[in-house]
Chains A and B, each alone.
Chain A
Amino acid sequence: MTALQDWPDGSVDVAVIGGGVMGATTALFLARGGMRVALLDRQDLFRAASGVNAGTLTLHMTRAQLIPHAMRGREMWLASRDWLGADVGALAAPGLSLAFTEAEEDLLRARARIRRQAGAPIDIVPPSRAAAIEPGLNPSVRAAAYCALDGHIPAYRVGRAYAQALAQAGVMLFAHRAVEAIVPDGAAGGYAVHCAGHARPLAARRIVLAGGVWLEKMLGWFGHAIPIRCLVNQLAVTETMPRVMGSVVSIANGLLSLKQFANGSVLIGGGWQGEGNIHEGGTRVIPENLRGNLRLAQHVVPRLAQAQILRVWLGLESETPDAMPLIGALTARDDAFVIGCVHSGFTSGPYMGRLLAERILGGAPDLGAFDPRRFSPSPSLPEHTP
C-alpha cells in the first residue's frame, strides 16, 4: 500500500466522518462558512449508498414529514451547477405511482392525501391520463398518483462532482481512513480521531458523524445507544435500449422504482432485499427477490420483457427504530453532531447537509423532529482517556 497522507498540523475545526451526500454536503458548507474541515471515509468517497443508489428524486416514496425537505433537496440537485459547480445530470421528470388492485388503489389514495397535506403536489389521475404521461404503461392500471416534481440522477456521477467541489472549498479529503475510535481530548477541549494506519490521531474541535449504516457504533462513542437497521437494497440495470419510458414510476406500496436514464439504460429498484451486513457490505443477491422485482417492472412497463439485464448490485440503507432521520447535536457541549438515516435520503441529502452546516455555523434551523436525543435523552459522555 502507498503511505497514507498525514494529518494536518494542529486541530481542524470539524472532522466529518463519512463521505457520502450527507457528510460531504455538510463539509462543503462548513468549509464555505469559513471552517477548517477534514472529511474522512473508510473507503473512497461516494462508494457506499450515495454512489450506488437508484438515483430517484421522488415525493411519492418520501415519508410525509420529510416532503418539504425532499422538495428543497430536489431543487438543489436540479441546480447542482449553481452550488456544487458541476452538473450531476439531474433531470426533472413526472412521477407516477400505480395501483393495479382495489387494495392498492386505497393505499395509493391514502398515501397521496397525506403527502398532499405535507405540501407535495400529488393528484390521483385516471388510467387514461397516466397512459398519456407514460405511454409504455401496462393498460391494466386502475389508478395512478401523479406528481410533476419528480426526477432522477445517475448516482454514479455525483461523487466526482463533489470531489472537485470539496477540494475547491478547501476541505481536506482523507479516503481509506477507517475511524476506530473518537475520544474527548481533555487538554485541547476537542476530540482525538483514531484511524487505522495512523499512530497519531487527528485532532478536531468538533465532530460530525455521517456514517450511514455504520452509525450505530459511532454513536456509541458519544454515549448514545440507538439501534440502526441496515437494509440491503437490490438494484438492477438494463443494457442501453431504445426509449421505453420517460417518467419515474413506482407502485402504491413503494416496492418499485423504475426510470430510463439519458443513455438508454433502465434502472430497476424498489427496496427488494439482498443479503449483507455492515461488516462485509452487500454479500449476495437473493434471486427470488430479484425475480420479484423484475416481474413487477415488466408488469408495469411490458416492453421491458425485451430488455437484457446488465448488472445487479446491492446498496445499504440505514433506518432508525422510528424510520425518521438523525440530525442534530450529540453532546451538551454542542461539539459533536450526527446526520443520517434519512428516508429517501438521496433526494433530501443536499438540503439536510446544508441545514446541519447552518446549525453548526450558529444558525437555528428547525431540526427538532430529527433530534437524536429522542432515543437516548441523557447520554453519558465517556471520560477522556489520560
Chain B
Amino acid sequence: MSRPERGGVVVVGGGVAGATAALAISRHGLPVTLVDEQPQAGGQIYRAPTPYARRHVPPNHEFSGGDRLRALLAASSVRTRFSTRVWGAWGASPGMELDLLGPDGIDRIGARALVVANGATERFLPFPGWTDPRVIGLAGASILMRNGGTLPGRRVVVAGAGPLLFSVAHQVMELGGRVVAVIDSGRRGDWLRLAATLAWDPARLRLAAQWMTRLRLAGIPIHHQARIAAVHPEEDGLSITISGTIAGTVAGTGRQGTPVRHYGADSVACGHGLKPATLLTRTLGARHRFDAAGGYWEPETDPSGRTSRTGLYATGDAAGIRGAAVARLRGLITGHAVALDQGAIAERDFASLTRRPRMLLRRQEHVSRRMLPLLNASASLSRAIADDAIVCRCERVEAAALRAAVAAGARDLNQLKAWTRCGMGPCQGRMCEDGARGLLAASCGLPPEEAGSFTPRMPFFPLPLAALTGTFAYSDIPLPKAAPL
C-alpha cells in the first residue's frame, strides 16, 4: 500500500448520477476519478446489456441512454476505475481515503472531495421460504431480464411494493414469460393518486399506463393490500400463499392475515422498495436523518448534495430515492457544486449553469416524493413477520430469536445484532436490517428511527485475506514491542 494520490475528486458509483457528476466536474478542468464495481458505467438503470440481451430484449430508452452516457465518459478526461469495489473509507482530515479492491488487487485512493453516488439497495420483507434460491429480488430480476435477456422462470409471481413491481411484470411479458400474479402491498387508491401526480411528468405517465394496460389485457390478477405469507418448494416449482388485506391484518392486532389464495410458479420476484446505500456516508461521519415517508435513513444534504461533512457529497438515489430522471439532474448540480467549492468556477457561473436543472429538479422531485409511500407500502408488515421466517439469511436467524432478544431487553439494532448474530454475516446486514428494525420497533412500540442502524463495519464486503497480505516473508512483518512478561 503506497501513499495514496491526494489531488483529485473521486466519484463512487458510475450510474446516471455519478457519471453525470464526474462529467460535469471534468468539464471544469478538475482531475476526477470515477470508481464503479461494474465492468462498465451505467449503474442499475443504464447498466450495459450483454450481447445476448442486445439481440433479444426489445430496444428501449435505457439501452440508448446508457450507451450515450458511456460514450460521453469515454470521450471525457474522467479517469475510470471499473470492476473496482470500495472496501473501506477513512475520515482522517483533511480529505478522505478509500480502500479499493480492483482487477490488480488492493489499492488506496485519496480524495480532496468525494461524491457518493452509489445508488440504492433493495429492501426485503422476510417470509417463510424467501431464502429459496427461486425467490429473487425485483431489482435482480430486472437486471437479469433487461441486461441479460434471461427470464427468472417461465411462470413468475411478482410481489412487493413500488413501481418496480409493474416494470418487472412488464419485462417478464416482453421476454415471453407468464406473470402468474402481481401481489402489491400498496393500495389501489395510492396508485390512482400517483397517476394524477404524474400529469407533471407525461413521459412516466405514458410508460405506467402502457404497463398497466398490458397487464389488464392479459388478464393477470393484481392483488392490492396483499402480501406473500409463505413460499413452499414443490416438486415442479413453488407454492405461494397470498395473504389479503393488510389494513385488516396489521393495523390493529399484529396477527397474521388469513391466507386467501395459493399460486404455483417457477419463481418469485419480490422486493419491498428501495433505500439509499448509506454505508460510505455513515462510515465517513456525515449526519443522517430518517425519512418517514420513505422509511429509510438518508444523508442530510443541501440541494446541491453537500453533506454535513466538508468535501463529502451525496447525490442521486444515495441521497434519497427519487429515480433515474432526478438522479441525472442531481448529479449535474452536484458536479457543478464540487467545481464551485473547489474554486474552479465562480458563484455566478454556478447559478447560471444550474438554473434550468434546478427548475426541472423541483418539478420532478414533487412527483418522485409522491412515489415514496408506495415504495414504503410494506413497512407496517414487519410486525407480522412469521416467527419461523428467517430474517438474517447469512446467519440463519429467525424472527422468533429476534423477538426473544427483544423480550430479554434489546432495544436497539446493535444490541439485537450482538445478542443474535443478526447482521453479522457476509452481507453485513444489508438484507436483514430493515426487517430487523421493523420487527424490533413493532415489538416494543418504538418509532423505527429509534431502533437505529447497524454500525457500519469494514470491510464493506468479504475481502479475500490474500489480497490484503500479498506476497511476503516472515521477516517483512513489522513486529511491535512484545507484551510484558
Contacts and interface: CB of A to CB of B under 8 A. Distances in A.
A164 interface: yes
Contact of A238 (B411, B418, B465, B474): B465
Nearest to A65: B485
A61 B459 contact: no
B179 to A, nearest CB: 37
Interface string B394-432: 000000000001001101101100110100111010000
B88 interface: yes
Interface in A283-304: 284-285, 287-288, 290-292, 294-299, 304
Given A254-B483, A298-B465, A305-B465, A292 B99 contact: no
Contacts of A163: 408-409
Which one of B411, B415, B472 has the highest number of Cβ atoms from chain A below 10 Å of its Cβ?
B415
Provide the main secondary structure of the chain A interface: mixed
B133 interface: no
B465 A294 contact: yes
B485 A308 contact: no
A311 interface: yes
A55 B101 CA distance: 30
Given A2-B450, A255-B482, A308 B418 contact: no
A160 B405 contact: yes
A308 B462 contact: yes
Interface string A24-47: 000000000000000000001011
A287 B465 contact: no
B437 to A, nearest CB: 16
B90 interface: yes
A253 B479 contact: yes
Contact of A310 (B91, B462, B485): B462
B468 A272 contact: no
A156 interface: yes
B65 to A, nearest CB: 36
A19 B119 CA distance: 40
Interface string A266-281: 0000011100000000
Given A44-B412, A114-B485, A305 B466 contact: yes
Contacts of B91: 284
B446 interface: yes
B418 A46 contact: yes
Contacts of B409: 163, 167, 173
A291 B462 contact: no
| Contact residues on A (Cβ < 8 Å of other chain), bracket | 35 or more
A323 B465 contact: no
A307 B464 CA distance: 6
Contacts of B408: 160, 163-164
Contacts of B478: 288, 292
A159 interface: yes
A291 B426 contact: no
Nearest to A52: B418
Interface string B449-467: 0100000011100111110
Given A1-B450, A111-B485, A312-B459, A273 B468 contact: no
A306 interface: yes
A156 to B, nearest CB: 5
Contacts of A100: 474
B458 A312 contact: yes
Contacts of B75: none
B85 to A, nearest CB: 13
Contact of A285 (B418, B458, B479): B458
A284 B426 contact: no
Contacts of A167: 409
B217 interface: no
A365 B446 CA distance: 46
B462 A309 contact: yes
Contacts of B1: 287-288, 291
A292 B418 contact: no
A298 B470 CA distance: 10
B419 A239 contact: no
B88 A285 contact: yes
A125 interface: no
B482 A308 contact: no
Nearest to A44: B415
A221 interface: no
Contact of B485 (A63, A297, A311): A63
B401 to A, nearest CB: 11
Nearest to B446: A2
Contacts of A160: 405, 408, 418-419
A63 to B, nearest CB: 6
Contacts of B446: 2
A310 B419 CA distance: 18
A297 B469 CA distance: 10
B103 interface: no
Interface in A218-274: 238-239, 252-255, 271-273
Interface string A78-116: 000000000000000000000011000001001100100
B477 interface: yes
B469 A294 contact: yes
B484 interface: yes
Contacts of A328: none
B469 A305 contact: yes
A112 B108 CA distance: 42
Interface of A: 1-2, 44, 46-47, 51, 61, 63-64, 100-101, 107, 110-111, 114, 140, 156, 159-160, 163-164, 167, 173, 238-239, 252-255, 271-273, 284-285, 287-288, 290-292, 294-299, 304-313, 323, 343
- Give the 8 A-B CB pairs with smallest separation, nearest first: A253-B482, A254-B483, A308-B462, A307-B465, A160-B419, A305-B466, A309-B463, A311-B457
Given A160-B408, A299-B472, A305-B469, 10 more contacts: A156-B419, A163-B409, A252-B482, A255-B479, A290-B468, A291-B468, A299-B477, A304-B465, A308-B426, A323-B484
12 contacts: A44-B412, A44-B415, A47-B414, A160-B408, A167-B409, A239-B462, A253-B482, A284-B90, A296-B479, A307-B464, A309-B465, A310-B426
Interface of B: 1, 88, 90-92, 99, 108, 405, 408-409, 411-412, 414-415, 418-419, 421, 424-426, 428, 446, 450, 457-459, 462-466, 468-470, 472, 474, 476-480, 482-485
